[in-house]
Structure 1
Amino acid sequence: MKTLLVILLLINVSQHASAVELYEGDSFILPCQYNTFALTDPTVVWSRSDLSPPTVHQRQRQGDELKDQNQRYSGRTSMKTDALETGELSLNLTNLQLSDSATYTCSVTDLRYGYMKLGDVQVQVKERFPSWAKALLVLLVLLVVSGGLLFHFCQYFMSVPQVEVDSGVESVQLICETTVCLPKDAKVEWKDANNRKVHVYENGSDRPEEQDDKYNGLTKMKRNLLEPGDLSLTLKYPTDTTYTCTVYSREGNILMKKQVELKVRVCQVEEGAESVLCPRLNGHGAVTRYYSSDSKDDLHVRYLDGEDSGIVVVGINRPKAKNAINKNLVKMMFEAVEDIKKNKKVRSVILCSLVPGIFCAGADLKERAKMHQSEVGPFVSKARALITELGNLPVPTIAAIDGAALGGGLEMALACDIRISSNTAKMGLVETKLAIIPGAGGTQRLPRVIGVSLAKELIFAARVVDGTQAQQMGLVSHSVEQNNSGDAAYLRALELAREINPQGPIAIRMAKLAINQGIEVDLSTGLAIEEACYSQVIPTKDRLEGLSAFKEKRQPQYKGE
C-alpha cells in the first residue's frame, strides 16, 4: 500500500517542465499538487538548494511556519489556507526579482512516510527592459536634455524674456538669476527703457539716493542677493517697458547684462463676467478700476507718475460688500498708510472708491454678526486707530465721495483734510439706527467740521444728506454734478491735488501740522505752534529755490529738501 501511494504521488507531481520566463515585478504561482488523505502530520517545504538557509516557504497543518525562511522572500510568499486538506500546494511568489531565477523544489515530510521530493519548478526572471533598451533610452534622454539645454541657452542668452501681468496687479517680479559667482563688491543696476535707474544695489545694501524719483518706494530686492545669485526685482504698479539688469565690477566693467520685457494685459469686459478691468482715466493720473471677489484686491494703491508724480490714489474695492470695512480692509489700509508715511516723495493722497455709486457703506455687518461680543470692541478700536493714522498723515488728504458714505465710511472721509462729493452722493452717521454710536471718531470730528448743534441733529436722527446739502452745511468743500462715468468727485479731487503738487512740500506739511495742532488749543498757544512750524522751513533748500525762482521769474522746482 505504501509503494502504491508513493507511485500515485510521484505521478501527480511530476513537473519537470522547461523553465518559466517571467519579468521583474511580476507575480507567479509555482505549481505543485498531490493527494494528502493518507498523510498523518505533513509539512510542505518549498526550497532552493543554492541558498542558505534554503527554505523559501514552509507549511504545516497549523499554518505557515516561517522562522527558517530565507529573508529575501520575507513577505513575498503565500499558500492557500486549506493546502494540506485539498492537496493544492502551489506557492504564490510576488514582486519577482532577478535574483529569484533558480530551481524551486517542493517537498513533503510526514511522520508515516518520511521525506518525499514532489517536484522542481525552474523560474527565469528577466529585466523588463533589457540592457540594450536601457542604453537606448539613456541615449534618447541625453539627446532630449541636450536639446532642451541648447534651447534654454538660446532663450536665456539670445532672447529677451517676457513677463505678462494683468492690469491692476499691485506688483510683479522681474526675474534675473545667474549661476556665476559674483564678487561681493559688485554693483547691480536695474534701468527702464528710458535709462532711468529703477533700483541700485551695491556693497550689500540698496542705494535709494541713486534711484530715479519715479521708482522711489516701489522696488525691492532680496537681502544678501549676491550669494544665491538671484538678482530679481519686485516692482510695484508695473507699466509696459523693457527693464535691464546690469552687474558691474568694482572697476566699472560689465560682468553681466540681461533684459526683461514687461507686458501689462488689459482685460476685456464680457457680459455677465464677475470681474472687469477698465481704465478710469486716460493719460496722467490714470487709476485702475478693478472688480474682484479676491480679498487681496480689497484695496488698490497707485503712485501716479509723470506730471502727477507725488500724488497717491488709494482706492477701496469691495464691490460685493459695498466697500464695507472688514478686518482685511483695515489691515491693508494700515499697511498702505504706513508706506505713504515713509515715502518722502508723496505730496498728496486721494481716498476714493473703485466701485460705482458707493464710497464706503461703513462696517461690514455680515462679518460683525459672526464676531463674538469680546471681539467687537477690539475691532472698533483698531478701525478707530486706522482712521486716526489716516488723519495724521503729514501730507494733504482728499476724500473723493462719488457715492454713499455712511457710518464708518463717512468717519473715514471726516479724517481727511478736504472732502469733495458729487451732488448725488449720500452721507450720514447712521449708527443710532442700530442702537450703537459712531465709534471711529464720528462724534468728535463731525462737530468740529459742521458745529456741535448740527452734528448732534444728524447723529441723533441718523439723517442722510446728499452732496448739495453736505456742501451747504460745510461737511464737504465742493459738491460737483455727477457725470456719466460716476467719478466727478474724483476728477475734481485730482484737479485739487494737481494744484497742491507744485507747492513747497515741506511748507505744506508744516502748514498742515500748524493747523491741526493749533485748532485744538487757545489762540496764544496756536500762534506759538505756528512759529515753531515756520522755523522748520527757514533752513530748507526749497525756501531758497522759491526766492530764486521769484527773482528769475520762473516756476520753482521744489524737491522737499
Structure 2
Amino acid sequence: MNFTTLLFAIENGTAIITINRPDKLNALNKDVFTDVEAAIDHIQNNTDIKSAIITGAGSKAFVAGADISEFNGLTNEEAMALSKRGQDIFFKIENSKKPVIAAVNGFALGGGCELAMACHFRLCSDNAKFGQPEVNLGLIPGYGGTQRLTQLIGKGKSMELQMTANMIGATEALQLGLVNYVTTADELLPKAKEILQSIHTKAPIAISKVIECVNVAVVSDSAYTNGKSGYELEMAAFGETFATDDMKEGTTAFLEKRKAIFTGK
C-alpha cells in the first residue's frame, strides 16, 4: 500500500497505521482522511491481517486535531459535508470486524481524540493529553466527539470537557475509562501488540460479533436500532456463532483439554 500521509506496516498479522505528518503534529486533513479510509478498507479485505493499531509519528502527538487551514471559507453545506466525511470514515473504524485499537502518544485533541475514540479501545503513553477544544474556535466536535466522549466517560464530564475545552492527562483518562492502559512511551506499541496477539488466538467470527453487539449497546443503550434491540442482536449473533467451525473447534478443544486452533470459518 502506498500512502502520502501514513506509514503502513504489517507485523504478525497486525497492521500498524501511523499518521505521518509530524511537522503538523499529525493533524487531520483531506489527504489523511483519504489514506485512513483506504487503509481500513485494505485491512478488511486482506485475510492475512487480523487486527490494526492506529498511532501517530513522533513523540509529541497522536493527532493534535484537524488541519484548521482547510476550514477557511467553508459554507454551511461544505462544513456539513466535511463532518459527514469524517464521521463516515470513523464509523468504518468503529464497525470494523477486525479489532482496531489506538496507541495514543502525546496530544490527542479535537479530531485526534475523535479518531482515538472511534477505535475499539485505547492505550496511551504517560505523556498523553486528551481534549475536545473546538469551542475555542467557535466550533463543536464534528467527527462524532459529542457522542462518543459521552458514551465513554458519561454526560457530566463530557459536557464539562467540551464546554471548558480543558485537556486531561493520561492518569485522568484512565480513571474516566477513556483509555484501558497507560504505559511509558517505549512500552506503548509493544503493549498494544501484546494485547492483539492474545486476541488473535480467539475465534475471529466470535470477535467480530462481540464488536457488533457491543457497538449497538453503546450507541443505543440497548434501545431499538434498525428494528432490533441490543439484546435481540446479541441473541441472533450468539446463534450464528453456533453454526461456525470455530465454535465446534473451541468447544471440542475445551473438552479435550487442548489449545483451540481457529480458522475463522
TM-score (norm 1): 0.44
| d(CA) in 1 for partners of 2:78, 2:229 | 40
Amino acid at match of 1:390: I
Shift of 1:447: 0.6
- Match in the other structure for 1:517: 216
* C-alpha contact 2:90 2:143 (8 A) present in aligned 1: yes
- Match in the other structure for 1:303: 10
Shift of 1:525: 2.9
- Match in the other structure for 1:367: 70
Map residues 242-257 of structure 1 onto 2, 5 A cutoff: none
The secondary structure found in structure 2 opposite 1:457 is helix
* C-alpha contact 2:132 2:141 (8 A) present in aligned 1: yes
Does the alignment pair 1:498 with 2:202?
no
* C-alpha contact 2:95 2:211 (8 A) present in aligned 1: no
The C-alpha deviation readout for 1:283-336, integer Å capped at 9, x for no partner, is xxxxxxxxxxxxx441122222xxx22x22111111111110111111111111
| d(CA) in 2 for partners of 1:376, 1:487 | 38
The secondary structure found in structure 2 opposite 1:539 is coil
The secondary structure found in structure 2 opposite 1:356 is coil
| d(CA) in 2 for partners of 1:363, 1:402 | 17
The secondary structure found in structure 1 opposite 2:66 is coil
The C-alpha deviation readout for 1:392-417, integer Å capped at 9, x for no partner, is 11122211101100000000111111
Which one has the bigger helix percentage?
A: 2
- Match in the other structure for 2:261: 557
Map residues 163-182 of structure 1 onto 2, 5 A cutoff: 170=1
Q: Could you tell which deviates more after superposition, 534-543 or 371-380?
A: 371-380
- Match in the other structure for 1:418: 121
The secondary structure found in structure 1 opposite 2:140 is coil
Shift of 1:522: 3.7
| d(CA) in 1 for partners of 2:47, 2:159 | 39
Which one has the bigger strand percentage?
A: 1
Higher RCO (C-alpha under 8 Å, 6+ residues apart): 2
- Match in the other structure for 1:471: 174
User: Segments of 4+ in structure 1 off by > 6 A?
Assistant: none
Number of aligned residues: 259
Shift of 1:384: 1.8
Map residues 262-273 of structure 1 onto 2, 5 A cutoff: none
Map residues 17-96 of structure 1 onto 2, 5 A cutoff: none
The secondary structure found in structure 2 opposite 1:511 is helix
| d(CA) in 2 for partners of 1:360, 1:517 | 27
Map residues 296-445 of structure 1 onto 2, 5 A cutoff: 296-304=3-11, 308-309=12-13, 311-369=14-72, 371-373=73-75, 375-445=78-148
Equivalent residue in structure 1 for 2:251, among 544, 547, 551 = 547
Amino acid at match of 2:33: V
| d(CA) in 2 for partners of 1:377, 1:348 | 31
TM-score (norm 2): 0.91
* C-alpha contact 2:20 2:56 (8 A) present in aligned 1: yes
Return closer, same or farther for 1:531/1:402 CA change in 2, 3 Å cut-off: same
| d(CA) in 1 for partners of 2:211, 2:80 | 31
| d(CA) in 2 for partners of 1:400, 1:317 | 14
Shift of 1:487: 3.9
Map residues 3-22 of structure 1 onto 2, 5 A cutoff: none
Give the number of the structure whose alpha-carbon radius of gyration is greater.
1
Shift of 1:469: 1.1
The secondary structure found in structure 2 opposite 1:340 is helix
**Percent identical across equivalent pairs?**
33
Amino acid at match of 1:508: I
| d(CA) in 2 for partners of 1:319, 1:435 | 26
Structure 2: runs of 5 or more not aligned: none
| d(CA) in 2 for partners of 1:372, 1:448 | 29
Q: Could you tell which deviates more after superposition, 550-559 or 440-449?
A: 550-559
- Match in the other structure for 1:488: 187
Q: Could you tell which deviates more after superposition, 544-553 or 407-416?
A: 544-553
- Match in the other structure for 2:236: 532
